[in-house]
Amino acid sequence: MGQTQSDEEVRLADIQPLYIVFMKECPSGALHLHEFRKIFGIKSTSEDEVLFIETIFKSFDTNKDDVIDFMEFVAAVHLVLRGKLEDRLRWFFKVYDRDENGKLDKQEVKHIIKIICQFKRKIRWPTSVERHLT
């Protein structure tokens, strides 16, 4: 309190509308994987797409309890939409490094391109979330 707000902090004015959206979508206060897919319009049964969205979900579930709570949701939205470039790149790398060896090999890069092309037409931030953050 009383300190200057840094670029990394999330403002209270940003959190309140997110809370309303989150609780509307997840009245239990916990976002499960199937709800995560639904919010982002992922209906595919493609194994690659399912694995990719599950990997993203798990990367946001920082306490590894198989749900995304509101604080994890705020951190994820902030990272993806407003985070520092270096932090976003680190997160993207973690998501795409499927074998977790600290490197992106040729197969992983091909996989990234394939998944991005498949999702490009499908995935969008829910309008209610995007409106409050842009």
How does residue 133 score in pLDDT terms, banded at 50, 70 and 90?
A: very low
Looking at the domain 12-133, which fold is it?
Answer: Recoverin; domain 1 (1.10.238)
Place of tokens 């985070």: 83
pLDDT tens by residue, 16-71 = 888 998 898 889 999 999 888 887 677 766 777 788 888 899 999 999 999 999 99
Q: What are the tokens at 31?
A: 């976002």
The Cα–Cα gap between 14 and 21 comes to 11
On whether the CB atoms of residues 43 and 126 are closer than 8 A, the answer is: no
Distance spanning both ends of the chain, measured CA to CA: 25
Residue 83: both structure tokens together: 């985070």
Do residues 81 and 133 make contact, with C-beta atoms less than 8 angstroms apart? yes
Whole-number average pLDDT of the chain: 80
